Amino acid sequence: MSIQSINLPGDGATCTLSVIDTTCYLTVPADTLVEPAIPGHELMNFPTFSFLIQHETSGKQLLFDLGCRKDFWNLPEPIAKTINQRVPGIRVNNSVADILQAGGLDLSKIEAAIISHHHYDHFGDPSTFPESMDLIVGPGFSKHFLPGYPGNPNSPAHESAFKHRDVKEISFDQSLEVAGYQAIDYLGDGSLYLLDTPGHAIGHLSALVRTTEDTFVFLGGDICHFGGAFRPTDKTPMPAQFTREEVALSPSGPEHVSCMQYLICHPNPEKGRSTPYYKPCSRADSWYVDPPQAQESVDTLMSLDAIDKVMVLIAHDPSVVGVLPLFPKASINDWHQVGWKKLLRWRFLD
């Protein structure tokens, strides 16, 4: 898909967007998420981010993802067992509900939580929020994951998470095409689009948030798990050299560094400046339910990422740490003016 074929929305309202550090930190074997294997990158260390979306016209407050519940050992038994067997490192300091309250947010004012997908590090613990907060989920969620556990042994949460709570499943049957994906204009005024980004999990959703009249932030969830899965490309080639800030080198390090030291580990060094390092893992134990479909979603993301007025944020990007302000300090609406996209783009190489 070419940059020219990416359809960004025209005029519309805006939302204030804040990044929430959910304090969920994971260590995951790389070969269950990406391929091919790259020596020295056997494990991936992840933060986990969710987002507060505040509609500037109406004042409506929404969340995108809920992180992981603090007492993850009390997740439904099959999920707790999976974490114990497949996730060598996990630490959760606080629940998202506690983080929001500590930041002065009234939980009763949150209209809904948009859940990118059902995995434990995104679904969180809805029972820590008022029952007035709806859950917005992607296609197929109700069929596969309701009712809650133990009524449905595959559910990501106990029955209490859904009790007296509306679960609203998005349908893309009569959708728009926005940013290369099937989309729903969620608030009806061009400020927030929910996007169909299948492949990683059943009903996986991403979002496109309008932050100024002509700039957007793409909230990818787990559309992929590493910056090197969608960078570099022929649309966003790796430069011949980087400043130390672009690749997060120490202030005492050299002012510039050649790209060659980052091409040594590329699976295809000859094309390494224009080809991503990774693809979604296709092994039987992959965290991706449909790796080829996931790659199609990522292919579109590559074109979207090349657009100057769109900043891509995926849920587990360590590059965000120390660059973007976190809730409750400030929003990220001025990202384009400040230049955060440029600063974040190549930090996955560190």
Mean pLDDT on 119-145: 98
pLDDT of residue 1: 59
Three-state SS string over the chain comes to: CCHHHCCCCCCCCCEEEEEEECCEEEEEEHHHCEECCCCCCCEEEECCEEEEEEECCCCCEEEECCCCCCCHHHCCHHHHHHHHHHCCEEEECCCHHHHHHHCCCCHHHEEEEECCCCCHHHHCCHHHCCCCCEEEECCCHHHHHCCCECCCCCCCCEHHHCCCCCEEECCCCCCEEECCEEEEECCCCCCEEEEECCCCCCCCEEEEEEEECCEEEEECCCCCCCHHHCCCCCCCCCCCEEECCCCCCCCCCCCEEECHHHHCCCCCHHHCCCCCCCEECCCCCCCCCCHHHHHHHHHHHHHHHCCCCEEEECCCCHHHCCCCCECCCCCCCCHHHHCHHHHHHCHHHC
324 pLDDT higher than 60:
yes
pLDDT at position 3 is 57
CATH code (residue 14): 3.60.15.10
* pLDDT value for 294: 99
> Does residue 264 carry a pLDDT above 70?
yes
Range of the domain at 156: 3-349
- Counting the structural domains of the chain, the total is 1
